[in-house]
Structures are given as C-alpha cells and as structure tokens.
Structure 1
Amino acid sequence: MHVCVLGAGVVGLTSAYYLAKKGCQVTVIDRQSDVALETSFANAGQISPGYSAPWAGPGIPLKAVKWLMQKHAPLKISTELEYKKLSWMLKMLGQCTGDAYSVNKLRMMALAEYSRDQFIDLRKNIGIQYQDGQGGTLQLFRKEGQVEAAEKDLKVLKALGVPHQMLTPEQIVEVEPGLRPVIDKFRGGLRLTGDETGDCYLFCQSLKKTCEELGVAFQFNSDIKSLYVQSSKIKGVETQLGVQGFDTVVVCLGSYSKELLQECGIDIPVYPVKGYSLTVPISDSSYAPVSTVMDETYKVAVTRLGGRIRAAGTAELTGYNLDLPKSRTDTIRYVVGDLFGQGCDLTEADYWTGLRPMTPDGTPVVGATEISGLYLNTGHGTLGWTMSCGSAAVIADIIAGDKTEINSQDFSVERYKK
C-alpha cells in the first residue's frame, strides 16, 4: 500500500513513522523545505496529557468577555467580520455546557495519555533525543477561585488514573525553587507529574532520520493544489509537478486542512487560532523553571529547554494572518519577566508565531472519511505535539485494518454530523 501523508509537521511526521512501521510505502509531501517549519517549529515545549482539556466549557463565554478587556489578555479576536470565524465561534459556544465539557475532556485525555505512552516507547525503541524531560507540569493559580475550579477537575484526573498533586505555595517552591522571589503572588498549584517537556523541532528532525531509514520518501517545496478523486475514491494528489497516484492519502495539514477538504465536499470545523512564543537563553539557572509552569491567569506556559526558556501563549482569532506585532507578544514577555525575570535577559528573546488548528470541541479529527482511501489526522489545537504519537498510532491502525488500542470512534469526523 502506497500512502501519501500531506504535511511534515509533528502530526504528519509521526503518522509517516507509524505507517512505515506497519509496512506501508510512505511518501510525505510538504510545501516547506524541511520538517517542522510551521506550527511545530517553536511551540510551548509541552507534552501535557494532564493539561488536556477543551477550551469550551461552562463559564467560558463570560470569561472570554472579561479577557478581551484585559491588558494582558489570553484571548484576542480581530474585529474583521469573517464568516468562517463567526461560524466556528458559534459552534464552540454550543460546546460550553457541562455535559459537553465532560465528554470532550475524557476523549482528549484518553488520547493524550495514550500518546504519552507512545512517546515513552519511542525513547525505548529508537533512543530518540529532543532535550526531553519528565519533570511534569505545574499550573499556577493567582486567585482562590482558580484553586476551587481546579478541585472540580480532580474527579476526571482520578477517574483516568492521571497522577497529580495539589500544592500550597510553600510546596510550589520545593518543586520550582526559581519561583521563590515571587511566590507571594500565588494561592496554590496543581502539579501533573506525568507530563513531559522537550523541543518539538528537535524531535521532528530526529524522527525524520528514523523515517528515512524505514524507507519514507520526502517531497519538500511542493505546493499541494488539490486531491484527485474519482467515483468517491482517492486516486492521488496534485502538486505543481502534476498528479501523483497513491492508494491512500492522510491529510495532516493542520489549519490548512479545511480548505483542501472542502473541494472534495468534506467540511471539518477547524479554525486557525494564532499563538505566540518567545525563546530566551538562561542567564541564572537558579531563577529559571525546572520543567513547565503554566500561569493559569494569563494562559502562558513557560518551559525549560536545556539552557533556554520557551514561553508560549495567547489565542488570537484573526484568520491566517502571520504578522508578529509587539502588542501581541507583550503578554508572554510580561509573564516570563514576572515569574523568572532574574533568570534571563528578555532583550535577547527571539519571537515566533504559528497557527493552531482548533476544533470547537477541542478533540482532533482522526479517522476515515466518506471518500474511500482518504483519511484525516488534524485539528489538534494547542495539543498537537502532546497528541501526535497517539493519533498517529490510531490512524496507522485504522489504515492497516488493525484494532485500535483506544476508541477511535470518539475522534471521527462523523461526530459533527450528529
């Protein structure tokens, strides 16, 4: 079976790896010159199954209104009227119920936990190195209300067997001593000890070499123009070089999946949510994070990557705009300075932006379509790296006709037709 994987980000690359392990002949096509040069390039550095939760939930609409009025807001919405944005927002609002939140969170955490297990196996089986760490994630709460809200999520964590610890401020500094100068700003924390960290770009570069050893072919600098479909069956992919024939095609194009699929009559509710990151060298490790801390107030994650600090955050609904204005990086810069300002010189920071492919319910779209031979692995939002190995293993099992290790129906595009 000759499988074409569209997209060489972390989701496409892991899909290629697991398909090659199944014995498939795999070709990866991407418009960039190498792997992981878009959304996977400078993400938050988290593999965080414990933090996997949908954005849509009870109380979120009111919170969103308050966020929009904050100076350092975790959410920005452009004033430009755009049908796709408004349609996606309405669908997300429809998921802001208690019942929907519970269903979506369970689905997301099940996939993320499974994915983390695949990461562990990868390290054992191929010895992949990517500045990985297993120090967990620490959510920081500046307000008592955040501590109380976290208590409600503990039932789900316990039900899924996710290791966790609720911490007092005194216990926080034992885990993250670099926070000692500012610990009076926090009321508590939730530590997710099973979460991991690492450099997604390095991971992709390393996995690319393994894929090549397995026979995976890469076609870079190739613009994907359309899917070639005849009689409801995939026949190939058209690039600037013409149509290439394939038995099976897996769409892993993140935010760009939607438009390609619409030409085939498949509509997936994926919208690009723009995020920002900064990377800065550590000047004093005693005032730097040990692992990852998530400032729950500003929704900014700050991660230790070797001798660097990576911080990422902000959700901006502004279409496919990739501008990098200073006004949008101020929040992540503020949080790093507020938490670990003594450990780095922010004048040396490098800034970056990328588009996260979000679904209204937070759960990615993984599985078959109504077109024979056409499969999806997209819509992972902010959790693309976290869920990448798990969703790739699932799609490889589906294509190979093997039984999936977790319930794959939860991720099917068919859920949007109900």
Structure 2
Amino acid sequence: MRIAIIGAGIAGVTTAYECAADGHQVTVFERCGSVAAEGSFANAGITAPGLSLPWSPPQLPCLGGGAKLAWGWQRWRAGRDKTRNEQHERLLKLALFSHARLAELRRSLQMDYERADGVLVLLRSERELSTAQAGLALLGQQDISAQVLSAEQCLRIEPGLNPDTQLHGGVHLEQGEAGNCRQFTHLMRIAAQRLGVQFRFHTTVRQLTPGAPARLIHEYTPPPANLAERPRQTENGESNDSGDTRPAPMGCIEDSFDAVIICAGAGAASLLQTLKLKPALTTVHGYSITAPLRQLEAYPDLGPRAALFDQQQQVSISRIGQRIRLAGGIEPGAASERQKTSTHALLHRILNDWFPGSMLNSQIQQWQGSQALAADGLPLLGASGRDGIWLNLAQGSASVLGWPLACGAARALATQVAGRERGGEAPDITGLDICRFA
C-alpha cells in the first residue's frame, strides 16, 4: 500500500515506522523543518500507563468566553457518558500495550536516549488520596502496578524532595519513565528512513479528497528568506536535523494514496473541517521550563531521579539527562501572554516546593506547545468515516502533554489500515474512534 502520514511529531513518526515495518510505501508530510518540532519538542517527557487517565474529576481553568464555556459543557457531557468505564478500560489496555511496545522498540532498535525509570505521583493531602482511590482500583483491575506510599517512603524513592513541603504520601508507578520525547522521535525517524520512509519537510497539505485511492494536494512552503528556520538544536546543543529526504518542487502537487493517516495534532483542525468531520476537539496549550541541574558534590540528590507528578497542581517534574523539566498549565482556547507568565510563575513555585535550588536559572529554556484534546479526554484513533482517511489524534491527557500512547496507537493503526485481524498483535481500539461523536 501507498500510505501518507500528515504530521511528523511522535504520533506521526511512530505510525510511519510501523506502517513501513509492515512493508508499505510511506511518505510523511510535515509543515515544519524537522520532526518533533511542535507538540513533541519539549513536552513533559512522561510515559506511564497509570497516568493515561486522570484519577480525579477534570480540573478545568476558570472558563470565560463562548468557546471556553462550550468546551466546559462538552466535557461535562462526556463525563456522564454511560460507556465511559468501558472506554477507560480499553484505553488502559492500549496504554499497557504501548508501554510494552516502547520497551520492545528500545531493545530491538538498540535505542539510546535520555530516560529514567519510574513515576512518583505526589499527594499533598489525605483528601487527594481518597479522591484517587477509584482510579487506583481501575488500574488494579488492569494489572497496572500502582503502589501507595507514605511520605517517608516517597522520600526514600526521591531523596531530593524538600522535607519541609507538606506531603501526605504518593503513588509509585513502576511501569513508567521520564524520557526525552524529541530525542526518541529523531531516533525513530532514522529507523523509519532505513525502512524506506520518505519525509517531506516544509510541506503543507492543502486539501484531502477521500476515495479509493484518496487524493492529497500538498505544497512546498518554506519560511520567507528573512524568517528562514535555522536547524533546531537538541537540548544537548547539537543539530539533529538531517534535512528533507526527497526533492521539493515548487507549487501545488496532487498525489494519490491507498490510505492517509492524519497525525497533525493541533494542526489537524483545518483538514477535519474540509472533510466535514466535527469531533469534539479543541486546541490546548501547555508550557514547560527546562534547565541544567545544579551539580553540588555535597548534595548528590539535589534534583529528581526520575519523574514526578504533583496531583494537586497538575504539574510534572522530569529528569531529562542532566536537566530538569517542569511542565503544566494546560488550558483550552487561545494562548495568551498573561497565561504564559502565570504558568511560568506556577512552574517555578512548584520547583521551589519540591526541589529548591536544583535548577540553574540562568540557563532556563521556555517552551509552549499545542495539542488537540477531545472533550472526553480520550484519543481519536481509527477510521474517519471517509474512504481512505484515518485518524491518530488527541493522544495527550488533560494534565500531561506526553507520549504514553504513541507506540501502541501506531501499531494498532497500522494493523487496522492493513485490514488484518487483530488477534494478539494489538489491542482493540473500537470505541476510541470518531463514531463516539456521532
């Protein structure tokens, strides 16, 4: 089959790899100049099956304006869906499969990227633990390890935690990790290219026409010369962009494909509109700050060892190599400078709560990323209802713009697109497709 992938973030690149591994001819179209250039660039870097679902009712920001009020209404309705428990069980199975698939890819492809095992969810009060019990019970039913710890036990796992900050206890998720999502995506791109995947960067998909085959109109759209993108550097300071893998002629070009998979994240809205698809999606914005860990011989555990998640504040703290990253402040609607300033202040406050003095503030890198999020907090995976068009969107949760589902969703979609029987190869993603918005 000839397959087109729209979007070269973590979702698009893993999907391209899985399709190519099945022997298909794959082309990836990306509007930016490299992979992982937008929502996958500096996200939380946490992947853990246990964090695929919120353990407490969604914490929405103070809603104002028509768009945010409508979104709040959609989320309220989604929370009352009678099939919600069944959907959550299916999602957790996908998350477990994705975790296993990630480990398998890491071994088989001998991938070496910055990572650390384990995620510790911090609970500041007994009320938070009580609220989380229902979610923890669901994790137990799916054999997802979630060990409830006292404050003292949390300090043994993360000895750098500030003992003066109020901590009731925590939940340790052994099946999780902190990792460099962008670095992993670049390694997956190399693996995909070895299988023959072609990448078209600085290329915008203008139009999609369903059918057998589906038609796709794309155009090479480099930035103006005075605004030309410089090759983005990795967080280690090295260039990690090897350029386009196909010539890029000017003007609009029409191609036909047996299948087109939309993995464009927040950039998918215009394509869905032209296809007259109206899932309950919105664009959410998240923020992160990253800086080197302060190295003091007398305090070897000044920062985190792996990943932590402040349940009350919905902020993650990740160890990324020799750097520390805090991410959070996720909000629907248009991003604003006021929200950015407020979120950065929150991230610094959380850092001071748990790991004071651990970050070199003179070298902080700030990031803002966007992602599509469904009203029910579930991913949008599977057939679109339009011939030849498939969807791989909204994989993040309302609290973590991470990558816990990417590898599993890619494998499941590759199986569906090829029309193979599911068997034991990939979990059933029925119920996570667009039909739930009908």
Q: TM-score, normalised by structure 1?
A: 0.89
- Per the alignment, residue 420 of structure 2 pairs with 402
- Per the alignment, residue 68 of structure 1 pairs with none
SS in 1 for 2:267: helix
Of residues 170, 191, 194 in structure 1, which corresponds to 2:152?
A: 170
Q: Which amino acid aligns with 1:410?
A: G
Of residues 382, 391, 394 in structure 2, which corresponds to 1:376?
A: 391
Pairing 1:235-250 to 2, within 5 Å after superposition: 235-240=215-220, 241-242=251-252, 243-250=254-261
Unaligned runs of 5+ in 2: 221-250
Distance in 2 (CA, whole Å) between partners of 1:192 and 1:237 is: 45
Summarize the Cα distance change of 1:348–1:320 in structure 2 as closer, same or farther, 3 Å threshold: closer
Determine whether 1:187 maps to 2:155.
Answer: no
Bigger mean CA deviation after superposition, 322-331 or 1-10: 322-331
Contact in 1 for aligned 2:205/2:216 (Cα 8 Å): no
- Per the alignment, residue 114 of structure 2 pairs with 131
Summarize the Cα distance change of 1:286–1:111 in structure 2 as closer, same or farther, 3 Å threshold: same
Q: Which amino acid aligns with 1:123?
A: R
Summarize the Cα distance change of 1:318–1:369 in structure 2 as closer, same or farther, 3 Å threshold: closer
SS in 2 for 1:238: strand
Pairing 1:72-221 to 2, within 5 Å after superposition: 75=61, 77=63, 79-82=64-67, 85-97=68-80, 102-134=85-117, 136-182=118-164, 184-221=165-202
Distance in 2 (CA, whole Å) between partners of 1:361 and 1:181 is: 37
Contact in 2 for aligned 1:333/1:346 (Cα 8 Å): no
- Per the alignment, residue 71 of structure 1 pairs with none
Identity %: 30
Determine whether 1:52 maps to 2:52.
Answer: yes
Deviations 1:106-152 (A, max 9, x none): 23222111100100110111011221222x11111111100111222
- Per the alignment, residue 70 of structure 1 pairs with none
SS in 2 for 1:245: strand
Contact in 1 for aligned 2:44/2:402 (Cα 8 Å): no
Summarize the Cα distance change of 1:101–1:248 in structure 2 as closer, same or farther, 3 Å threshold: closer
CA RMSD of aligned residues (A): 2.1
Aligned residues: 397
Distance in 2 (CA, whole Å) between partners of 1:410 and 1:263 is: 24
SS in 1 for 2:392: strand
Q: Which amino acid aligns with 2:371?
A: R
TM superposition shift of 1:312:
0.3
Deviations 1:159-181 (A, max 9, x none): 00011211001111110000153
TM superposition shift of 1:387:
0.4
Unaligned runs of 5+ in 1: 65-74
TM superposition shift of 1:378:
0.6
Distance in 2 (CA, whole Å) between partners of 1:91 and 1:103 is: 19
Deviations 1:260-302 (A, max 9, x none): 1111112222211111001011014411111111111111000
Contact in 1 for aligned 2:293/2:323 (Cα 8 Å): yes
Q: Which amino acid aligns with 1:218?
A: F
Q: Which amino acid aligns with 1:27?
A: T
Q: Which amino acid aligns with 1:179?
A: L
Determine whether 1:348 maps to 2:360.
Answer: no
Bigger mean CA deviation after superposition, 328-337 or 388-397: 328-337
Distance in 2 (CA, whole Å) between partners of 1:98 and 1:140 is: 29
Deviations 1:36-93 (A, max 9, x none): 00000000110111111158x65x4xx54xxxxxxxxxx364x4443xx443332111
SS in 2 for 1:154: helix
SS in 2 for 1:370: coil
Contact in 2 for aligned 1:275/1:315 (Cα 8 Å): yes
- Per the alignment, residue 278 of structure 1 pairs with 289
SS in 1 for 2:270: helix
Deviations 1:215-264 (A, max 9, x none): 0000000122111345x862223335322222210000112213211111
Summarize the Cα distance change of 1:133–1:5 in structure 2 as closer, same or farther, 3 Å threshold: same
Contact in 2 for aligned 1:324/1:353 (Cα 8 Å): no
Deviations 1:347-378 (A, max 9, x none): 43211011121101111111112221111111
SS in 2 for 1:39: coil
Q: Which has the higher helix share?
A: 1
Q: Which amino acid aligns with 1:148?
A: S
- Per the alignment, residue 67 of structure 1 pairs with none
Distance in 1 (CA, whole Å) between partners of 2:21 and 2:197 is: 10
Bigger mean CA deviation after superposition, 300-309 or 144-153: 144-153
SS in 1 for 2:26: strand
- Per the alignment, residue 14 of structure 1 pairs with 14
Contact in 2 for aligned 1:258/1:267 (Cα 8 Å): no
Q: Which amino acid aligns with 1:22?
A: D
Summarize the Cα distance change of 1:46–1:322 in structure 2 as closer, same or farther, 3 Å threshold: farther
Summarize the Cα distance change of 1:227–1:239 in structure 2 as closer, same or farther, 3 Å threshold: farther
Q: Which amino acid aligns with 1:128?
A: M
